[in-house]
């Protein structure tokens, strides 16, 4: 299903034509002509995940990412040699920090982006602004946006991205790897009852995640269900309601588990929080902050969380492996 919009097509085609013809006219500037992209033979018209139709020049040689999750996806696909720019917040893998920075995800510099002459700019609806997409469109720069809400959608989204960028093989390989990871985790957790969890984004005030977020889905995949029923993405919750619902466990996203242990002690002394059984019994899990980004790395974070929440399931697995190994030896 492709929506065709003649006017914008003609306009972007004209702009694109101008962008590619102009350097050839300006022959006197040798250095700029050298830096200009080569003439593009063809275009791929695709619909991105927000339903916009995007015209991407082929082959894609230069990519700018405006979201940390998109940067991670590009690295996971092994296409980072095409990545020419990313945002100040793109810090994983560490090599992403050395890429040319174009500002923040909310307030990137259009000038910096344009100067990098990208074939396509990658965005995600969950983080970037519509206005940025529109501004890029007006400059004739292809802007492709994703919008995954579940782990499955993250997988299919990355696969589709690889296809759009002209590397379907890498997408299939990554998809299969993630699918394996996912199904093996599901097998392990098959008979495990779901833990009722409260995902804590912020403690003062208490901010959690809504049920339509990929984080809620990540919890589910890790054998936990978020007790927050909100349709908002980042709802502010009342502590009274949490005391009534009594989560089995609190889940924090952090790269420093010692800091969370300290926070937990502080929470135990705070009114309201101290009424939560999970706080009284210090029942909490710390998941890598990769859980905050809809990127392939999320699955590893999910598995890590599952191990913390349901050690018994993994213990069985280890035990049965050992048993099998013993049997083999005998």
Partner 1 sequence: MRPLTIGRLFLQCAILAAILFCVMVLALKFGAIHVSLYGLGRDLLRVFLGKSTEISSEYSLIVLNIRLPRILLGAIVGASLSVAGTSFQALLRNPLADPYVLGVSSGAALGAILALLIEPHLALTPEIASVFTPLGGFLGATVAIAAVYFLGRRDGRIDSNTLLLGGVITASLLYAVIILLLTVLPSSNVRGMAYWLMGELSNLPSKPLAWVLRAGFLAATAVIYTTASDLNLLLSGEKEAMHLGVDVHRVRLIVYIAASALTGIAVAVSGSIGYVGLLVPHVMRMIFGSDHRILIPASAFGGAIAVVIADTIARTIAAPADLPVGAITAIAGAPLFIYLLRRRLA
Q: Would you say 276 or 295 has its CB closer to partner 1?
A: 295
103 binds partner 1 (CB under 8 A): yes
Q: What is the 3-state secondary structure (H, E, C) of the chain?
A: CCCCCHHHHHHHHHHHHHHHHHHHHCCCCHHHHHHCCCCCCEEEEEECCCCCEEEEEECCCCEEECCHHHHHHHHHCCCHHHEEEECCCCCCCHHHHHCEECECCCCECHHHHHHCCCCEEEEECCCCCHHHHHHHHHCCCEEEEECCCCHHHHHHHHHHHHHHCCCHHHHHHHHHHHHHHHHHHHHHCCCCCCEEEEEECECCCCECCCCCCHHHHHHHHCCEEECCCCCCCCCECCHHHHHHHCCCEEEEECCCHHHHHHHHHHHHCCCCHHHCHHHHCCCEEEECHHHHCCCCCHHHHHHHHHHHHCHHHHHHHHHHHHHHHHHHHC
Determine the interface stretch with partner 1 among 19-27, 54-62, 268-276, 316-324 (rule: CB under 8 A). Answer: 19-27
Contact with partner 1 (CB under 8 A) among 55, 61, 62, 101: 101
Contact with partner 1 (CB under 8 A) among 10, 14, 93, 138: 138
Contact with partner 1 (CB under 8 A) among 62, 125, 177, 307: 125
Determine the interface stretch with partner 1 among 98-106, 168-176, 254-262, 294-302 (rule: CB under 8 A). Answer: 98-106
171 binds partner 1 (CB under 8 A): no
Site for partner 1 in 175-214 (CB under 8 A): 210, 212
330 binds partner 1 (CB under 8 A): no
Site for partner 1 in 31-90 (CB under 8 A): 32, 35-36, 52, 88
Contact with partner 1 (CB under 8 A) among 135, 181, 254, 308: 135
- For partner 1, the binding residues (CB under 8 A) are 5, 7-8, 19, 22-23, 25-26, 28-29, 32, 35-36, 52, 88, 101-104, 106-112, 114-115, 125-132, 134-135, 137-139, 210, 212, 231-234, 236
């Amino acid at each position: 299903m492709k929506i065709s919009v003649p006017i914008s097509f003609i306009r972007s085609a004209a702009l694109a034509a101008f962008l590619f013809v102009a350097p050839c006219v300006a022959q006197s500037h040798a250095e700029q002509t050298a830096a200009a992209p080569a003439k593009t033979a063809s275009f791929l018209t695709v619909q991105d995940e927000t339903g916009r139709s995007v015209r991407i020049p082929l082959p894609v040689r230069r990519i700018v990412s405006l979201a940390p999750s998109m940067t991670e996806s590009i690295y996971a696909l092994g296409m980072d040699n095409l990545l020419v720019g990313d945002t100040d917040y793109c810090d994983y893998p560490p090599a992403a920090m050395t890429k040319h920075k174009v500002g923040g995800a909310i307030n990137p510099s259009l000038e910096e982006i344009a100067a990098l002459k990208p074939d396509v700019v990658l965005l995600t609806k969950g983080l970037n602004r519509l206005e940025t997409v529109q501004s890029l469109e007006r400059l004739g720069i292809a802007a492709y946006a994703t919008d995954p809400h579940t782990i499955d959608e993250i997988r299919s989204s990355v696969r589709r991205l690889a296809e759009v960028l002209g590397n379907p093989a890498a997408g299939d390989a990554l998809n299969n790897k993630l699918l394996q990871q996912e199904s093996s985790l599901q097998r392990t957790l098959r008979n495990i009852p779901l833990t009722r969890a409260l995902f804590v984004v912020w403690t003062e005030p208490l901010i959690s995640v809504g049920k339509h977020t990929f984080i809620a889905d990540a919890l589910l995949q890790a054998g936990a269900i978020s007790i927050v029923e909100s349709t908002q993405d980042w709802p502010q919750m009342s502590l009274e309601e949490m005391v009534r619902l009594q989560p089995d466990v609190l889940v924090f996203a952090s790269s420093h588990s010692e800091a969370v242990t300290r926070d937990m002690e502080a929470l135990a002394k705070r009114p309201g929080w101290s009424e939560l059984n999970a706080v009284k019994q210090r029942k909490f899990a710390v998941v890598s902050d990769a859980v905050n980004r809809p990127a392939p790395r999320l699955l590893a974070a999910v598995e890590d969380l599952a191990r913390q929440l349901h050690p018994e399931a993994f213990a069985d697995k280890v035990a049965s492996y050992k048993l099998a190994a013993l049997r083999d030896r005998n």
